[in-house]
Structure formats: structure tokens, C-alpha cells
Amino acid sequence: QSVLTQPPSVSGAPGQRVTISCTGSSSNIGAAYDVHWYQQLPGTAPKLLIYGNSNRPSGVPDRFSGSKSGTSASLAITGLQAEDEADYYCQSYDSSLSGSVVFGGGTKLTVL
């Protein structure tokens, strides 16, 4: 069971908007630690998608956006495309744990 909770799956049709939530607690997201997001395409290594809650690395389309509020964070994908079908993970820091890096359980995005 992950410290950060994500829905196991979400889906949407091409062109639609989907959101993926990442729910934490007062020892991680709620303690003002940043949330970062990764995309993992099938059979590949994870790739950084969003850092510092809402910042996109160069090369990441502006269809991807992140936000954070209270003990939760969200990843939004607009104008859904077939190539967005992947697993998405949130990551943060937890002050109550040894080493402190925590990941969400991951969300499988299916493009219908």
C-alpha cells in the first residue's frame, strides 16, 4: 500500500480531458513538499513529466499540467492522444519515513 494514493485507472476518448489525483497526508504533500509526476510508456523507463508541482521540463507538451492543494495533487491531460496511453506516477517526500522518497501506486491511463 503506497503512502500516496492514486486511482488504479482512468480513461478518456481522444481529445478529452482527464485528471489523475494523488492524495497524501500531513507528513508529505500536506507538509508543503513538492509533487512530481512521471510517465511510463509500456516497456520503457519512467520519464519526468512535471516537477515542482506544476513545472514542465522542456519538451513536455503544454497539454500536461500539474497542480497541488492541501494534501492532494493532480495531473491534468487535455486534448488526449493515443500516445498518452501509459502509467503515471506521482512522487513526493515524506518526513515520517526513512529516506523519505515516496511514490504513488500508479495510474493506468487508457485512451478509448
Partner 1 sequence: EVQLVESGGGLVKPGGSLRLSCAASGFTFSYYSINWVRQAPGKGLEWVSSISSSSSYIYYADSVKGRFTISRDNAKNSLYLQMNSLRAEDTAVYYCARSSGRYCSGGSCRASNWFDPWGQGTLVTVSS
Which residue ranges make up the site for partner 1 (CB under 8 A)?
Answer: 2, 34, 36, 38, 44-48, 51-52, 54-55, 57, 87, 89, 91, 93, 97-106
Number of H helices, E strands in the chain: 0, 9
Q: How far is CA 28 from CA 65, 76, 88, 101, in A?
A: 20, 21, 19, 10
Whether the CA torsion 6, 4, 68, 99 is positive or negative: it is negative
Nearer to partner 1, 13 or 32 (CB): 32
- Minimum distance of partner 1 from residue 44's CB (angstroms): 8
Inter-residue contact 109 to 84 (CB < 8 Å):
yes
If the CB atoms of residues 77 and 106 are measured against partner 1, the closer one turns out to be: 106
| Closest approach of partner 1 to the CB of residue 110, in Å | 16
Q: How far is the CB of 55 from partner 1 (least distance, A)?
A: 6
Which DSSP symbol is given to 56? P
H helices of 6-100, in order, are none
| Residue number, 13 or 45, with CB nearest to partner 1 | 45
- The smaller minimum CB distance to partner 1, of residues 13 and 99, is found at 99
